[in-house]
Amino acid sequence: MEKERNFLIHPSYILMFLLLAGVSSLFLGFSGAYLYNRIQQDIPPVKLPSLFYFNTLVLIASSLMLKWAKKSYLEDNTKNYKIALVITLILTIGFLISQIFAWRQLQSSDIFINYNNMASYMYLISGLHFFHVVVGIPFLFIFVVNAIRRMKSPVSVLIYFSDLKKKRRLNLFNIYWHFLDGLWIYLVIFFLLNYIIQ
């Protein structure tokens, strides 16, 4: 425990920010490639399915729930902490299911991944974001399971809330999740502006 407190910035946070910097570069690179192809080949952009906007609200809601979970953790509020984590997990699974239906919306309009370059990039970029959300689910599930299994008696609750590692992991997960939320909002705005400005 003492060694952890000696870090000005814990290595876990440095690794997280490096990871997010890499992910940001990846999406910015694909955004640039999307714009380049659109301008060079003069291909009209694809209209966003309505479910993309609904999914934005779902992700924002999941971020707010996770923020509530962190607040409840800091306030030692066991009940609210558990509820917030479970709701976050449900909303996240709902986002993934809804995103599959959003791609189905595109396909129902005969816009498949090979329709044109703009459609290919839309599937690729939204699919990459989908993948990063899926990567976060096991960690979220572990938080939920640990909260339900280990926070039963007053003593176990005290030990759980006093664990610096758990607090740090919750902080790291919050950073990752809010980043994915912000990234999705950026992508929706990016595709929407490209469709509006033709």
State mean pLDDT over 45-62.
95
CA distance 49 to 45: 12
Q: What are the φ and ψ backbone dihedral angles of 152, each rounded to 5 degrees?
A: -115, -55
State mean pLDDT over 124-141.
97
> Is residue 190 over pLDDT 60?
yes
pLDDT band at 153 (very low <50, low <70, confident <90, very high): confident
pLDDT of residue 157: 80
pTM of the model as a whole: 0.92
94: which 2 tokens? 């709902």
103: which 2 tokens? 């791609």
Give the model confidence (pLDDT) of 59-79 as tens digits. Answer: 999 999 999 999 999 999 999
pLDDT of residue 115: 92
CA distance 55 to 68: 20
Give the model confidence (pLDDT) of 154-187 as tens digits. Answer: 888 888 888 888 899 999 999 999 999 999 999 9
In the 8-state DSSP scheme, what is residue 48?
Answer: P
CA distance 170 to 147: 12
The domain spans of the chain are 2-196
Under 8 Å between Cβ of 143 and 167: no
HEC string of 71-93 equals HHHHCCCHHHHHHHHHHHHHHHH
2-196, superfamily in CATH?
Cytochrome c oxidase, subunit III, four-helix bundle (1.20.120.80)
pLDDT of residue 2: 42
